Amino acid sequence: MTMTSAELAATPPAPPVSLTALLARRDLGLRLLAGPEDASIHWVHTSEMADPYPYLLGGELLMTAGVQLTDPARYVERVVAAGAAALGFGVAPVYDTVPEELVEACARQGLPLVEVPPKTPFTAVARALWRLMAEARLHELRRVTEAQQSLAAAAARPAPVPAVLGALASRLGGRAVLFGPDGTESVAAGREVPADAARALRELAGVLGPRPGGPASASGDGGGLRLAAYALGGGDGLTLGVATERRGPGDHTVAGVAVVLLSLLTAPHRGADATVRDGALVRLLLGAAPAQVVGGLGAGPWTVVHARGGDGTPFAAASLAAALGTPLVEAAASEEEAGGSRQDDTPVTVRLLLPASTPVTEQPGWALGVGAPAGAEELAAADAQAARALRRAEATRTPLVRHRPGGIAALVDPAEAAAHARSLLAPLAEPLRETLRTWLSLHGSWDRTATAMDIHRNTVRQRITRCAALLDRDLDDPDVRMELWFALASASG
C-alpha cells in the first residue's frame, strides 16, 4: 500500500516505548502473564470503570485493580476494541491474584496482560513510562542531529551527490537511490536490495511524477523492506528513493535534509534559467519597472505565498521552495531574528513567488497564506493579501488559507471549514464530541448539560477537562469556544 505525505497519520509528541523496556524495570516488579511483550505503549491510563471503552484513546497501558470486573471476557473485548496496547492488573486490595478468566481472555485476544505487584503504585508505572519516553525522544533528537551533520559534511566533498547518498544510506541502514526523470537509476549507495524491492522502489518513485504538481513524498512496502520516495525540487523530475528494513520516527526528517541538499547540488541543471532570472533582477535594481522585467522571471500572472514554520534548520526555506516548485523565495527576518535573538527552533518566515498555474498545497510543519493571482503591477497588493491570509492561518491553526474577496462570509469556504473541523476535532471520540457540543450549546453549564445528557455533573466535568487536554485549548476563552462551536457545526454539516 502506498501513502503520500498528505495521507500520513499524525504522530504522538514522543516516541512510543516498547512494553519490553517497561518489563525490564526491576524496581517495578512487573510480570507478563499473557500476550506479546513487544507492544508499543504511548501513554498510561488508570480506570476502574466497568466499561472503559469511551475513555480510551488507543495505544495506552490501561491500569486497573478490577474493582468493577464482573465479566472478564467482555471487559477484554471492549479494551481491545478501544485500541489499548496492554492491560496492567494491580494485585490487592480487590484480588489476591490475577483472575484466571482474565488471563485466558487476554491470551485469546492477543492483549498483553501485566501483573502489577501490591507494592508498585500505578503512578510509579506511569512515571517510569514518561522517563523512558523522554530518553527515547532525546536519543532520537541526537540521532537526527548527528545525521544532519554527516549529510552536510558529505555535501562538501569532491563528489557530493554520491557522498550524500552514501551518508544517507549509512544513517538509515539501507539503500538510497537517485532516480532520473525517466525512472532510471542515476546514482545509488548502500547495500543491495532484492530485485522485487528495487522494482517496487522504482515504481514508488514514479508515483510522484514530475515536479511541480505531484505529491512531495510517498511511502510503502516491497520485497520485505520499508520504502520511501521524495521528489527533489526544481521541476527536473529527479527523485530520491530509500529502502530500509525498518522505519524510525526520525527517518523522514533525516531524508528531508538529504532532499534539500540533493536539490541544491543538482541545481546546475537549471543554470540557464537562473541566468535569465538574475538578469531580470539586475534590471529591476537598475530602475526598470516590474512590468518590464517580469517576463524574465516567467509567464504571469503570479501567486504570492507567505509561510511560517519549518524545522529550525538553515535548509527550511529552501526545502519549502523546492516542495512548492519555485526558485523565487525570500526568508524574511522577523523582529526577533533582526535583533539577533533567533533560536535554532524559531519558525522561519518565508515569502515565495509562483506562477499562478502552479498549485499551492499544504506543507507539513508550515502555515501558508496565499494571495489572489496578480499581474506585475498588482504584486504589492497580492503580497499584502498573502500576509493577511497567513495571519488568519496562524490564528485558526489552519495549514493553508487563501485570500477570498467578497466580504466576511466569502472568506470561509465550506469544504475548507469542514476539513479544518475534522482536523481540529480528530482527537475527540464521539462521546466527548457530543458532550462538548451540548456543553457549548448550554453556555458551559455543568448542571444543565448533565440533565440534558442524563449523566452525572462530575462526568460532564471530567469529559470537558479531557476535551481541553486533548485539544490543548483553554475552554474558558470565548474565542476558543466560538471556534469549537463553528467546527462542531461544520463537522455536523
Non-local (6+) Cβ contacts of 425 within 8 A are 433, 471, 484, 487, 488, 491
Higher pLDDT, 142 or 312: 142
Q: Can you give the pLDDT at residue 335?
A: 41
The share of the chain scoring above pLDDT 90, in percent, equals 27
Q: Within 13 A of 434's CA, how many CA atoms are on the CB side?
A: 10
Region class of 332: left (phi > 0), else alpha (psi between -120 and 50), else beta:
beta
37-43: average pLDDT:
90
Whether 487 has a pLDDT exceeding 70, the answer reads: yes
pTM tops 0.85: no
In 3D, which of 139, 131, 147, 133 has the Cα closest to residue 311?
147
Q: How confident is the model at residue 356 (pLDDT cuts 50, 70, 90)?
A: confident
CA distances from 85 to 13, 63, 246 (A): 17, 11, 20
Q: Can you give the pLDDT at residue 70?
A: 92
Q: How confident is the model at residue 11 (pLDDT cuts 50, 70, 90)?
A: very low
Is there a contact between 399 and 393 (Cβ–Cβ < 8 Å)?
yes
